Structure 1
Amino acid sequence: MSARSGLAALITASAVTALGSRVSMVAVPWLVLTTTGDPKQMGLVIAAQMIPYLLSGVFGTPVAERFGVRFSAIAADLVSCVATAVIAAAAHLGLGVILAMVAISGAVRGAGDRTKNVMLRPMAEAAGMTTSRMTAVHNGLGNGATLIGAPIGGLLVFWLGAQGAIWVDAASYVVCALIVLTLVHPPADLMPERKPAPEPYLVALRGGARHLARDRLLVGMLAMTFFANAVNQAHTALFVPLWVEQVLHSPAALGTVLGAFAAGAVAGNLVFIGLAPKLPPVLTFTICLAISGVPRLVVLGLSSDLALVLAVTFVCGFAVAAVNPILGVLLYDRVPVDMQTRVFGLVATVSFAGYPVGGLLGGWAVTGFGLTAAVLLGAGVYLVTTLVAVLRHRSLAVTPVEPAET
């Protein structure tokens, strides 16, 4: 099998995992609602999955490195399959079983997703594909999964019931594990070495954190991503639904606003795949991050025109397509191969931590200041974050990275 086929297989496996996860994000809370009748329990399910996912991205990655990234990726998919299948088969045993299984699935996926990311670059180099194009393609498929995953989940719940949809998700993990097992074979000379005497767990954990903390460029970009994710979560979970309710008085518009952003991201990825190698990475990251957030918040706060909101939101989604691929390229370039699993996990955890923070602070802002003021405050946070980055861009872009100490 050619190197290009192996790379395509790995990207396909990641996309299938993402799609299946989006289906579960619809089906499992719906199952909980129909079995318990309590909407509050739906939030418990989401928290029970996300908290272990975030924690394992930091504390599970040294273990994944010890077993090897390819083995860990396969094992994570198989464990997720079993945990998801238990939810589908034994939901009648109660909420405790569901919470335990989503926690197990979240814990193994937090480290397992990072191992797939580590394999991407050596597979891309073996296939003769640039890292920037590879990350753009990978991120584009993730955006596509986000765009179609929730609607597919809703259709599967309608056709098969919540448990049937969850069985489909369990099957998707088996498919991913088989794809990686049979078709994904990264070149050994480009992969992290499995040392005969692996580092002690705490030493490995500390080494990854120390390396990231010493890279001022990555820390600055990670801070920008954290604040952006916090505002994005408030925008998605609070600002848009409240704007639709208070301004348009029509819940039908909710899906169109959120879908416009995802559709713009997918379209942007198609363009960025071709432009990626020609753009200055740090400046492009900063400008696109600002464009992706500030205009859609300002128009949401100041306009009641749905068509205008949709148009601006689509453009913002188009701009955001460059953000994650550029961050991914810089991570591959600035983090040693033998530390990538740990550092990637730490970066993902800090970035994703913005989501619960944004939801909490967004709720307080709306309660304390009203919707319009809260939305414009979010736009201000976005703008200040990116302006600070622009002012520091020249010094950060030339910051050297010393060899990591472990």
Structure 2
Amino acid sequence: MTPRRELVALVGADLLSNLGSRVSVVAIPWLVLETTGSPTKMGVVAAAETLPYLLSSALGPPLADRIGLRRTSILADVGSAGLMVAVALTPWLGFGALVALVAVVGTLRGVGDRIKHVMFRPVAEAAGVKLIRLTSVYDGLGRVVTLLGAGLGGLLIWWFGVTTAILIDAASFAVCALIVAALVRPPAATAAPPAAQGYLRALGDGFRYLGRDRTLLSMLLVISALNMVVNASIAVYIPLWVADVLGTPAGLGLVLGAFSAGALLGNLLFTVLGPRLRRDLTFAVGAAVSGPPRLLVLAFSEDLSVVLAVTFVSGIGIAVVNPLLGVALYERPPADLQTRVIGLAGSLAFAGLPLGALLGGWSVAALGLGPALVVAALFTLVVTALPLAAALRPPPLRGKEGPLVTVSGGEGVSS
């Protein structure tokens, strides 16, 4: 198989795995509703997958380095497939057993997803594909999968019933494992496990590197904050605005769809223009555009067309953020630390998600919708203004060597 086809196979396997995960997010809570009738237990089982996912993303990569990346990816997908079959076929085991099974699935998904992302770099380099183009295209395709996944989960339940829907989900993980096993062969230097190293020391090396790399750490903190506000918007702010102003749930789909449409257009533009843009400034501007404007327009406008237009532009802004973080994660850490750094980065970037809905609901209860939106916008503005100020600051002089040149389109992210 040619290197480019191998890259397509790896990206396709990862997207298929993500699609399966999105289907399970819908199907498993529905199974709980059918078997227990309890909305509270639906929330418990959803959280049972999310928390282990975040923890294993950070804590699992040192073990994957020892086992081997490709082997870990295959084992994670095979294990996910088998456990999803158990979830579908053994509801009689009880709610506690279901929570335990889902928690193990979340653990495997966290490791499997991070490891596939680590393999992107060597496979892309072997194929001669620029990392910035790969991360941009992947981000766009990932958004399409996210849009389709929940709807597909609902359709599968409607067409075949929840048990069959979960079995189809299990099959998607099995197919993913088969694709990686049959078609993906990372370069030997990356595929082989590194020299033996104690687990805690290996994990500590990843933490220490991330603590030293201020550029990467600041990018992750910005994205974590954006994820928190986005989750609050999806779960609380936007539904309340739609209910108060429009009085129909149809508006919810329009507002969320406008953001997704903007993000998809942004991905297309960034795929073409990305290699020629100054990365630090592009990241900072994209983050600033993606957050505060869409919150402020909800706070101060009741015109749906204005809200849709601003939300669409904010979607274009968010389209540059994840690809630039992806490039930084591939290019900045040393090869022997990359697995651990990417795992820790994934956990940190997603850490804001669980807090988002809780803080969104609390802020509206305490302040009201309009003031809560303004506070959230100001918080996001402060967080995103810091990297923007750093990007606009003149570079320091280095004696007689002249100014330190900021990297704008080459192989590194400027720091």
Paired residues for 1:266-305 under 5 Å: 266-305=264-303
* Match among 317, 335, 341 for residue 315 of structure 2: 317
Match of 1:8 in 2: 8
Deviation string 1:86-109 (CA, Å, 9 cap, x unpaired) is 111112322122211110111011
Structure 2 residue matching 1:392: 3-state secondary structure? helix
Deviation string 1:252-282 (CA, Å, 9 cap, x unpaired) is 2222222222222222212211111111111
Deviation, structure 1 residue 47: 0.7
* Match among 341, 344, 366 for residue 343 of structure 1: 341
Q: Which runs of 5+ in 2 are unaligned?
A: 397-403, 408-415
Q: Identical aligned pairs, as a percentage?
A: 51
Deviation string 1:160-190 (CA, Å, 9 cap, x unpaired) is 112221111101001100110011111224x
Kept after mapping to 1: 8 A contact 2:77/2:176: yes
The TM-score normalised by the length of structure 2 is 0.93
User: One-letter code of the match for 1:299?
Assistant: V
Aligned residues: 398
Mean Cα deviation higher: 229-238 or 266-275: 266-275
Aligned mates of 1:390, 1:373 — CA distance in 2: 25
Match of 2:154 in 1: 154
Aligned mates of 1:152, 1:37 — CA distance in 2: 23
For the aligned residues, what is the CA RMSD?
Answer: 1.7
Match of 2:198 in 1: 200
The TM-score normalised by the length of structure 1 is 0.95
Aligned mates of 2:92, 2:267 — CA distance in 1: 42
User: One-letter code of the match for 2:73?
Assistant: A
Paired residues for 1:31-70 under 5 Å: 31-70=31-70
Mean Cα deviation higher: 172-181 or 265-274: 265-274
Paired residues for 1:2-151 under 5 Å: 2-151=2-151
Q: Does 1:229 align with 2:239?
A: no
Deviation, structure 1 residue 193: 4.6
Aligned mates of 1:269, 1:390 — CA distance in 2: 21
Match of 1:247 in 2: 245
Match of 1:403 in 2: none
Match of 1:372 in 2: 370
Mean Cα deviation higher: 264-273 or 222-231: 264-273
Mean Cα deviation higher: 352-361 or 319-328: 352-361
Aligned mates of 1:319, 1:89 — CA distance in 2: 44
Kept after mapping to 2: 8 A contact 1:193/1:338: no
User: One-letter code of the match for 1:177?
Assistant: A
Deviation string 1:209-251 (CA, Å, 9 cap, x unpaired) is 0001000111111111111111111111110111112221112
> 1:398/1:229 Cα in 2 relative to 1: closer, same or farther (>3 Å)?
farther
Aligned mates of 1:5, 1:167 — CA distance in 2: 29
Deviation string 1:280-308 (CA, Å, 9 cap, x unpaired) is 11110110111111111111111122222
Mean Cα deviation higher: 200-209 or 162-171: 162-171
Match of 2:324 in 1: 326
Deviation, structure 1 residue 335: 0.6
Paired residues for 1:155-174 under 5 Å: 155-174=155-174
Deviation, structure 1 residue 323: 0.7
Structure 1 residue matching 2:161: 3-state secondary structure? helix
Structure 2 residue matching 1:17: 3-state secondary structure? helix
Aligned mates of 1:316, 1:83 — CA distance in 2: 39
Deviation, structure 1 residue 399: 11
Deviation, structure 1 residue 83: 1.1
Deviation string 1:1-39 (CA, Å, 9 cap, x unpaired) is 100000000000111111111111111111111211111
* Match among 348, 357, 360 for residue 359 of structure 1: 357
* Match among 300, 306, 312 for residue 308 of structure 1: 306
